[in-house]
Amino acid sequence: MYLAAGALFAGGELEKTLPRGESKPMDGIYVFKVSLDKNIWRRIELSSDHTLLDLHYSIQSAYGFDDDHLYSFFMDGKIPSDEVFTSPFDDTGPHVDVARIGDLELTVGQNILYLFDYGDMWRFRVELEEIRALGVIPLNPMIIESKGKSPKQY
């Protein structure tokens, strides 16, 4: 005897118990607060279609740094980490130019460590502050707010 799922379970109840599989990419506008310390930070807005390479360029521009060193994004905020994306010029990968922001399964409040220049070890705290599904999607990453004077790179 065959019974329809609706006859056994209230509407929507069966869907609550089934595994979901892979998570869906989150499209929209991502706002990151990129800090060197509590008094020196930049707020950067990107679209979900931008990559970690775009975020790297935005941080470099926001702080007036020269883009002349290797770097990595440690997605769990710790060194060492298994969750790391590296410069396209680094021997290891995965690389930042293939890491689309919207596909990274980021969560609001997540802290990422951006390490620039493996010699001088510039450590930036990158916190995802907001994901907006609605609004004008930025064609280019934008620095929308800043606090404090950028330190000299050298």
Angle at 75 between CA 72 and CA 78, to 5 degrees: 80
Task: Write down the pLDDT at residue 134.
Answer: 85
pTM of the full predicted structure?
0.83
Architecture of domain 22-147 in CATH? Roll (3.10)
> Over the chain (154 residues), what is each successive 10-residue block's mean pLDDT?
48 46 73 97 97 98 96 96 95 95 97 97 98 91 97 93
